[in-house]
Amino acid sequence: MTGPENLDDASRRLARTQRLLIASDFDGTLSPLVERPAEARIVADAVAGITALAASPGTTVVILSGRDLVSLKAVCPAIPGVTLIGSYGAEWPGVIAPLAESDCQTLDALAAALDGIVSVLPGAFVERKTVSAAINVRLSDPDPAAIAIDLAHKAAASFTGLTRHLGRGVVEWSVRPTRKADVLATLRREHNPTLTVALGDDEPDLEAFDRLDEADVRIFVSPSARKGTLAVNTPAEAGRWLASLARLRSEFVGPTGAGCGQTRPATSTIQSSPSSAGSVTSAGA
């Protein structure tokens, strides 16, 4: 298998496959990047496409985000059959182990250090999430932003047990070790897809792409090309592609169950602990 030559070729393979797993990032992939995280909105075509795909037989749809679940649910509509996973896999709906007191103290101290750094940098801000703290300098001038990021790395280095996630203008440190790549690998073991398509726009997504098989499809939502990926320029284009994939898949598998023999588990849980990279187990039929 040499991989699909273009999006149309990939769409046809994905539409025909028996068990399809679709795993997508949210920010910058299904929603345009915005100045403030709370202002993000999923593009309409993505909602339509994901809704139809999730209703298709033999199709599993997961949105895997670096946002914590509360934040993700605030900007992403609840779509039947679509599982939202937050905090790079540390948060599964209804499953988040309470943080140890020491972890809370670590995050509070790290956030305070980051607050000190951004206090002199216009446009920068700190996000204290459920299991992490992040510095966001997307709105700041590049040179002072680079200095701030360097200072943030040094501040975080004084804490132990943190997992770092690099994004565009954002660096985040989590007290949970989960990574998108591990979660995607676990999802593939869980659902045993005949093909997987992953969509993303950032380093954690590219890391997850590496866990796919050669025949699987990697959609990089970016104007810049990456070897081994199929590129779409914007979330709007990604949304249109998902909608077109939904139409194509309905031609092959139908909207209500004809054509594909295996349905997905209705719910899953992810076991999240400081020592676990996230093992997914089926929780119901």
Calculate the CA dihedral of residues 267, 182, 106, 268 and round it to 10 degrees. Answer: 10
Residue 48, Cβ neighbours under 10 Å: how many? Answer: 16
Nearer to Mg ion, 45 or 201 (CB): 201
91 part of the interface to Mg ion, by CB under 5 A: no
Q: Closest distance between Mg ion and the C-beta of residue 159, in Å? A: 25
Across 65-162, the runs of DSSP E, i.e. the strands, are 82-85, 125-128, 132-136
Query: Which of 19, 25, 185, 217 is the binder for Mg ion (CB under 5 A)?
Result: 25
Q: Identify the H or E element spanning 13.
A: helix 7-16
Give CA angle at 174 (170, 176), nearest 5°.
150
- Shortest Å distance, C-beta 206 to Mg ion: 11
172 binds Mg ion (CB under 5 A): no
What does the alpha-carbon distance between residue 140 and residue 101 come to, in Å, rounded to a whole number? 33
How many residues sit in the footprint of Mg ion (CB under 5 A)? 5
Q: Which is nearer to Mg ion, 29 or 250 (CB)?
A: 29
Q: In this chain, which of 14, 23, 28, 75 binds Mg ion, going by CB under 5 A?
A: 28
Name which of 212, 114, 213 is nearest 171 in CA terms.
Answer: 114
27 binds Mg ion (CB under 5 A): yes
Contact assessment for residue 4 and residue 217, using Cβ atoms and an 8 Å cutoff: yes
Give the residue from 216, 202, 245, 218 showing the smallest Cα distance to 45.
245
Report 198-217 residues binding Mg ion (CB under 5 A): 201-202
Smallest gap, in angstroms, from Cβ of residue 29 to Mg ion?
Answer: 5
Choose between 28 and 58: whose C-beta lies nearer to Mg ion: 28
DSSP H or E segment with residue 62:
strand 59-64
Smallest distance from Mg ion to CB 27, Å: 4
Nearest partner of 59 among 272, 203, 254, 285, judged by Cα: 254
Q: Least separation, in Å, of the C-beta of 138 and Mg ion?
A: 12
**Kind and range of the H or E element at 204?**
helix 203-209
Of residues 63 and 111, the one with the C-beta less far from Mg ion: 63
CB of 254 to Mg ion, least distance (A): 32
Stretch that binds Mg ion, among 87-95, 184-192, 193-201, 233-241 (CB under 5 A): 193-201
Nearer to Mg ion, 25 or 68 (CB): 25
Report the residue closest to Mg ion, judged by CB. 28
- Piece in contact with Mg ion (CB under 5 A), picked from 21-29, 148-156, 174-182, 252-260: 21-29
Kindly state the smallest distance separating residue 28's Cβ from Mg ion, in Å. 4
Q: How far apart are the first and last CA of the chain?
A: 34
Type of residue at 211: R
111 closest CA partner among 84, 129, 85, 91: 129
**Residues in touch with Mg ion (CB under 5 A):** 25, 27-28, 201-202
